[in-house]
């Protein structure tokens, strides 16, 4: 890698000269997409080096380079801090430079709703929705709660009779839980929520019976579910998952509505880029989405591929924003408008 990076500086110069020749012809043939990056491209990651977001962003960087989707150097830049707000502030300042991409989670939506920042997805140009995590609701294998109905029955008797572990209040899994319970007739604002710093702590919490249930991503619960150390009551996926998870009912089957609140990853560009620039990035991300390794990576983590672009993406974002807002209002985390 090290030498490749050094070489890249040189290759960028060569590429800039040669761009009009080879790559230029290729896009010209496709018609409208007459723009391509003129200099180094930055993929901004809202969390630190070494995290899952950072890993996927570097994965995208690698596909960009390998498939020659972007001929200029591609850098991954970590701008963590402020609960992902700093990356947004940094990114918004770059408008309308088309050489910046933001790899983002649903936190862009919830940060605006909770009032942590004024900036939201309207201050960005949505390029693509990439992949989604499903939420699993997990209990200990010998718990007397066997279905979502058992859980809801107990909560209706006494809201504080079940303790829930989780890693982020107002985070995606927390909101899925709140929305599911609300649709089952339980007021989620009085839940006994125990927030842990890491996923490992909340999972050991349920395995060691310190907490009764945990709402986490499916991937965090998967391995211990497979070995029988945990039981999954339901998953938030729209339809049943595959493999050994095929036996786990969905929330919808249990009569609970979790539509809209989801845990997905997006790519944004800065606000004010031209239609040609937007088309270039949408095509590049579509190519990433079709990459074989990319698909395998998503499957390995029990995530879902949910690629959306253009109008489809915008209406999806709007629906997600509204559902997220409703769930946050419900648990008292939304800032009054």
278-290 burial: b if 16+ Cβ within 10 Å, else e: bbbbbbbbeebbe
Closest to other proteins by CB, 221 vs 252, is 221
Stretch that binds other proteins, among 93-101, 109-117, 123-131, 247-255 (CB under 8 A): 109-117
Question: Residues touching other proteins: how many (CB under 8 A)?
Answer: 67
Among 36, 63, 72, 78, binds other proteins (CB under 8 A): 78
Alpha carbons within 13 A on the beta-carbon side of 213:
30
Could you tell me the smallest distance in angstroms from the CB atom of residue 245 to other proteins?
Answer: 13
- The answer to whether 76 and 290 are in contact (CB under 8 A) is no
Stretch that binds other proteins, among 127-135, 199-207, 264-272, 307-315 (CB under 8 A): 199-207
Give every CB contact of residue 21 below 8 A, 6+ residues apart in sequence.
none
Closest to other proteins by CB, 33 vs 41, is 41
5 binds other proteins (CB under 8 A): yes
Which x/- pattern, by CB under 8 A, does the window 255-274 give for other proteins? --------------------
Tell me which residue has tokens 């249930």.
Answer: 213
Helix H or strand E segment including 75: strand 74-78
What distance in Å separates the CA atoms of residue 93 and residue 275, rounded to the nearest whole number? Answer: 20
> Among 56, 59, 57, 60, which residue's Cα sits nearest to residue 44?
57
Which x/- pattern, by CB under 8 A, does the window 80-99 give for other proteins? xxxx-xx--x----------
Stretch that binds other proteins, among 14-22, 74-82, 124-132, 314-322 (CB under 8 A): 74-82
Q: Pick out residues in 219-248 that bind other proteins (CB under 8 A).
A: 222-224, 226-227, 229
- The answer to whether 252 and 234 are in contact (CB under 8 A) is no
163 binds other proteins (CB under 8 A): yes
What distance in Å separates the CA atoms of residue 71 and residue 62, rounded to the nearest whole number? Answer: 12
Stretch that binds other proteins, among 129-137, 207-215, 242-250, 264-272 (CB under 8 A): 207-215
Closest to other proteins by CB, 36 vs 78, is 78
333 binds other proteins (CB under 8 A): yes
Could you tell me the smallest distance in angstroms from the CB atom of residue 314 to other proteins?
Answer: 27
Q: How far is CA 15 from the centre of its chain?
A: 33
What distance in Å separates the CA atoms of residue 93 and residue 78, rounded to the nearest whole number? Answer: 16
Neighbours of 190 (CB within 10 A): 11
Could you tell me the smallest distance in angstroms from the CB atom of residue 122 to other proteins?
Answer: 19
Stretch that binds other proteins, among 73-81, 131-139, 148-156, 177-185 (CB under 8 A): 73-81
Closest to other proteins by CB, 48 vs 185, is 48
Torsion, Cα 257 114 156 194, to 10 degrees, reads 110
Query: What are the tokens at 226?
Result: 């497979």
Among 22, 38, 189, 305, binds other proteins (CB under 8 A): 189
- The answer to whether 282 and 121 are in contact (CB under 8 A) is no
17-51 burial: b if 16+ Cβ within 10 Å, else e: eebeeebeeebeeeeebebbbeeebbbbbbbeeee
197 binds other proteins (CB under 8 A): yes
Closest to other proteins by CB, 58 vs 271, is 58
**Contacting residues toward other proteins, per CB under 8 A:** 1-2, 5-6, 9, 48-52, 54-55, 58-59, 62, 75-83, 85-86, 89, 114, 116-117, 160, 163, 168-170, 189-201, 203-205, 207-208, 210-211, 222-224, 226-227, 229, 297, 300-301, 331-333
């Amino acid at each position: 890698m090290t030498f490749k990076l050094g070489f890249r500086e040189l290759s960028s110069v060569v590429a800039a000269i040669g761009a009009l020749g080879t790559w230029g012809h290729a896009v010209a043939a496709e018609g409208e997409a007459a723009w391509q990056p003129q200099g180094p491209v930055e993929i901004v990651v809202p969390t630190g080096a070494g995290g899952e977001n950072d890993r996927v962003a570097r994965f995208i960087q690698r596909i960009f380079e390998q498939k020659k989707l972007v001929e200029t150097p591609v850098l991954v830049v970590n701008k963590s801090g402020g609960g992902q707000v700093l990356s947004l502030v940094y990114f918004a300042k770059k408008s309308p430079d088309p050489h910046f991409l933001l790899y983002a989670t649903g936190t862009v939506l919830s940060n605006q709703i909770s009032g942590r920042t004024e900036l939201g997805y309207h201050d960005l140009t949505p390029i693509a929705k990439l992949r989604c995590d499903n939420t699993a609701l997990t209990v200990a294998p010998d718990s007397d709660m066997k279905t979502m109905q058992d859980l809801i029955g107990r909560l209706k008797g006494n809201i504080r009779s079940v303790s829930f572990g989780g890693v982020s209040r107002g985070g995606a899994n927390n909101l899925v839980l709140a929305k599911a319970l609300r649709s089952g007739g339980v007021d989620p604002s009085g839940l006994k929520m125990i927030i842990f710093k890491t996923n490992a702590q909340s999972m050991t919490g349920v395995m060691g019976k310190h907490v009764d249930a945990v709402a986490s991503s499916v991937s965090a619960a998967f391995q211990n579910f497979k070995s029988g150390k945990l039981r999954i009551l339901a998953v938030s996926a729209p339809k049943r998952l595959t493999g050994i998870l095929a036996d786990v009912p969905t929330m919808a089957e249990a009569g609970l509505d979790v539509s809209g609140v989801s845990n997905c990853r997006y790519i944004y560009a800065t606000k004010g880029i031209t239609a040609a620039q937007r088309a270039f990035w949408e095509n590049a991300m579509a190519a990433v989405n079709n990459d074989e390794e990319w698909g395998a990576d998503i499957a390995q983590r029990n995530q879902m591929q949910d690629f959306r672009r253009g109008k489809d993406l915008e209406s999806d974002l709007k629906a997600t924003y509204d559902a997220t807002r409703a769930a946050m209002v419900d648990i008292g985390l939304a800032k009054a408008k």
